[in-house]
A and B are shown apart, each in its own frame.
Chain A
Amino acid sequence: MHANNASDRCEPNLVPILDMVFQLITFFMLVINFKAASVDRELELPVIGTAAPTLAEEDSDLLVLNLRSDGKVRVRGELVNDPVSFISIESRTIRQINGIATGKPLPVRVVLRGDRTISTRSVMNLVDACRNSGFNKFDFFVVRSATQGKNP
């Protein structure tokens, strides 16, 4: 006979639940997106049902330009007052860092995320400013269905 002591109390086994919790933590750590600051979630991107996602070049840096419905440009989370000057400065900085001569195309891809309601004039002026500064690779971002395009 053994005495009725504390070791006879039933204690739940926490190991499986801890294992499950670590599985969930690992999942969320892998899907966390630190680059969300460069993307303006308030934009309603154009709907192009036939557009297909393409693989970006692995060693290509990106310059994400968010063109809002009010015509302002947001880059890296900040509103830019003078996009043309900003693009020119960015181009000079990239040339200095990478030692690229003036007139040569830059290795940076320009990602244009524009609201669907803006005019072509706004976009083309921005595209022309980029081309004048040496950017010649462009990605126009869209969504493929009307239910997307704006985060709730």
Chain B
Amino acid sequence: MAAMLDMAFQLLAFFILTFNPGEVEAQISLLLPLENPLQSGFSQSPSEAAAEMALESLAFPVEVEAYAGSTGDLVRIKLGDQEIASDEATIILETFSQKLANILSVPGFDTVHLRVEANMRYEIFLRILDRCVQQKLASGEPLTKISITQF
């Protein structure tokens, strides 16, 4: 029995030493169209592009442009014709989220074209994206049509 107990302690010591608790991670899931979006918001095959153009003429995309400072922090967001600027990025994001929610509450708006300055920090970009993903349309459905480009 003592030998078995010794063996059991060896195994236990191995598993304790190799135990590495993972941090709780969250994720932002996206389903993006294929191919390079730098030419257009939705770049697809010619037939799909034609169909998309027909749909685009019915839908009203919300144009969002996010600008970064020299350090990569968020300095302002241009939402359609509105400019949102502040010294605090959190204030910009909160204001942006509220204004975007107001726009999307109007039937007909179901697409967001998000353009982000290339030197913006990745963390800030994800915060903007997260705010977009959390939005709901006038129908109550979550916002799913988001195109992302950099400039």
Contact = CB atoms under 8 A, between A and B. Distances in A.
Interface of A: 14-15, 17-18, 21-22, 24-25, 28-29, 31-33, 36, 39, 45-48, 50-54, 103, 105, 111, 114-124, 127-128, 131-132, 134, 136-144, 148-149, 151
B122 A120 contact: yes
B134 interface: yes
A143 B31 contact: no
A17 B26 contact: no
Interface residues of B, number: 51
Contacts of B26: 48, 51-54, 141-144
A51 B131 CA distance: 9
11 contacts: A25-B11, A28-B12, A36-B22, A46-B126, A48-B28, A50-B130, A51-B26, A119-B72, A124-B116, A136-B31, A148-B25
Contacts, number: 158
Nearest to A118: B122
Interface of B: 1-2, 4-5, 8-9, 11-12, 15-16, 18-38, 45, 72, 116-127, 129-130, 134, 148-150
A105 B34 contact: yes
A129 to B, nearest CB: 9
Given A18-B8, A131-B36, A131-B37, 19 more contacts: A25-B15, A32-B15, A33-B20, A46-B127, A51-B27, A53-B24, A53-B27, A117-B121, A120-B119, A121-B119, A136-B34, A138-B30, A138-B32, A139-B27, A139-B30, A142-B28, A148-B23, A148-B24, A149-B23
Contact of A124 (B24, B25, B27, B150): B150
A25 to B, nearest CB: 5
A119 B33 CA distance: 22
A107 B45 CA distance: 20
A29 B15 contact: yes
A58 B13 CA distance: 33
A122 B126 CA distance: 13
Given A119-B72, A124-B150, A142 B126 contact: yes
B123 A46 contact: yes
Contacts of B72: 119
A107 B24 CA distance: 25
Contacts of B18: 32
B28 A31 contact: no
A53 B36 CA distance: 28
Contact of A18 (B4, B33, B116, B124): B4
A120 B5 contact: no
Given A28-B19, A121-B150, A151-B23, A51 B28 contact: yes
